[in-house]
Amino acid sequence: MKLANKADGGMSVLRKVLAVIGSYKLLLLASICLAAISTVMQLYVPVLFGHAIDGVIGAGQVDFAGIRSSLLGILILIVLSSAMTWLMNLLNNRLTYRTVRDIRGKAIRKIQMLPLSYLDTHSTGDVVQRIIADTDQLADGLLLGFTQLFTGIVTILFTLIFMLSKNVRITLLVLVLTPISFLVARFISSRSYQMFKKQTETRGRQTALINEIIGNEKVVKAFGCEKKVSERFGAINEELRGYSQSAVFFSSLTNPSTRAVNNVIYAVVALSGAFTILKGNLSVGGLTVLLSYANQYMKPFNDISSVITELQNALACAGRVFELIEAEPEPVEVDSCLAFSDGRIHIEDVCFSYTKDKPLIEHFNFEAKPGQKTAIVGPTGCGKTTFINLLMRFYDVNQGRICVDGQDIREVTRHSLRERYGMVLQETWLREGTVRENIAFGRPEATEEEIIQAAKDAHSWEFIRRMPEGLDTKIRDDSLSQGQKQLLCITRIMLCHPPMLILDEATSSIDTRTELQIQEAFDTLMQGRTSFIVAHRLSTIHNADQILVMRDGRIIEQGNHAELMAKNGFYTSLYNAQFAGVEVA
């Protein structure tokens, strides 16, 4: 039963791949037709060789004209067959890479539709592995598979037809022995598929670890963890070696096993044919043709078994890609857009947890009036970032509701909600491209004057205008400081002028002098706009209209800075703890 389930898993993946290939029926049909024509031409060559052999009757009895005609026909067939095979391979290339392109495109589009919970629970390296490396492995397997499959099927069918025309009894004998090759190949491949599946899963974990190490190499060196990291990589590398070795070992048994069976079939044909010649029912040339056809008939089985490693690996990789494509997307949205908002936010008895057994936000109630500046503070893990995720509908609440201008945000599209917010995070993200393209990411139609004005408002124009090509300077990973990257992200929001703002430690990478300038720019930008500021540095929120102090997913204190300090509560202890060193000095 287990073997059947494993085989069903491979067949299920194969059916999914074939469904994508179905979009290119004309290419597929043309490739099959070329394979048929090429194979028939190749299979007729032994017939001409048989005629040439039979033309040598004995001493002084050679049919030179017949032999010359047969050899000329062989030459013409070989040239035409080679041309057909070349054209078939060209079509197979197009068919393969268009199929892989479509699968990879589906995977990328699916990522845009997946909830953040999926990306939070799957490493970036593993997702990248599925989209890039796994689809490349699929392409290699499909290319070999198409080439061998089309030619092989046609070869088997037409070989049987030609053999039947020569001798029915010997042909039936070959057919009776053929299933042995299938049984041997199936027995071995059912085991190798699981090994290849484990191999590609382990390769994904290895890619994720490499991505993690390289992206944080400074931290690794700073803490002297080079040896620990190498040992951790070594363990996964050894695990990958074991699975790879087992997969190749099992799959490599297929070819010699089927060849052994096919050699037995070849010997049976030769022996049976020899006895038939002695009885006078077959000529030497006829036996030569039958032996050639027996070899041609068995060759597709050998060819397919020789690429079984690539085919099994391709199906295992395809399975991982289709797991991503078939992952549960975000719930279907109602076709309703959020009207232009004046920024009134009402949060009513909201409860939320990432996992059912670990409650995070419980019975959260809050109201932000239009144009109000709200700061959110609290210890790590208290729910500040989660609160922002709920506002933006990166996650949906488990209980209660969040309303914008009286409209439940679950009753409008996520896009219409998110375009009302401007969001600046602590972690900067810049795309590969020019400074202009990065600033205008949210407003591609913005004019140069608008871009420059936004840069001046965000105080990034000073360093932009000193760059070699100004706004058209290409950004490299090492060409900007962390503070400059943050300034460009802030400029991007300045250009969009959204009605609501979310600043998640937006000035954490900026020096004190620039931070004051940015704060002034934000004050101007936030006038008349509802704003939320997640802050760890409490010095940046003195002028907030209200401060929410969170702890264990609840609001435990609320008020402005002066009111909270007068209460001498948790906010006061946070504030004093942060500035204790300054006060002692």
104: tokens are 């990879």
Radius of gyration of the CA atoms of the chain, in A: 35
Residue 219: C-alpha distances to residues 123, 174, 425 (Å)? 19, 66, 22
The CATH architecture one would assign to domain 345-584 is 3-Layer(aba) Sandwich (3.40)
- DSSP letter for each residue of 323-349: HHHTS--SPPPPS--PPPP---EEEEE
Q: For residues 443 and 437, is the Cβ–Cβ distance under 8 A?
A: no
296: tokens are 């041609």
DSSP classification of residue 123: -
List, in order, residues 6 or more apart from 149 with CB less than 8 Å away: 304
Whole-number Å distance between alpha carbons of 533 and 538 = 11
Q: What are the extents of the domains in the chain?
A: 2-325, 345-584
Place of tokens 């499909």: 142
List, in order, residues 6 or more apart from 576 with CB less than 8 Å away: 583
- pLDDT (tens place) for every residue of the chain, 585 residues total: 333 344 455 678 878 888 888 888 888 888 888 888 887 888 778 777 777 776 665 555 667 777 788 888 888 888 998 898 889 888 888 888 888 888 888 888 888 888 877 877 787 778 888 888 888 878 877 776 766 766 777 777 877 887 777 778 877 877 777 777 767 766 766 667 677 778 878 887 888 788 777 777 767 777 677 888 888 888 888 888 888 888 777 777 776 777 777 777 778 777 887 877 777 777 766 777 777 777 777 777 666 665 665 677 787 788 888 888 888 887 776 667 766 667 788 889 888 888 777 778 888 888 888 888 888 888 877 888 888 888 888 888 889 999 888 888 888 888 888 888 888 877 777 877 888 988 888 888 888 899 998 888 878 888 888 888 888 888 876 678 777 888 888 888 888 888 888 887 766 656 666 667 667 666 766 777 888 888 777 766 777 888 888 888 788 888 888 888 888 888 888 888 766 544 322
How far out from the chain centre does Cα 136 lie?
A: 10
93: tokens are 């290339």
CATH of domain 2-325: 1.20.1560.10
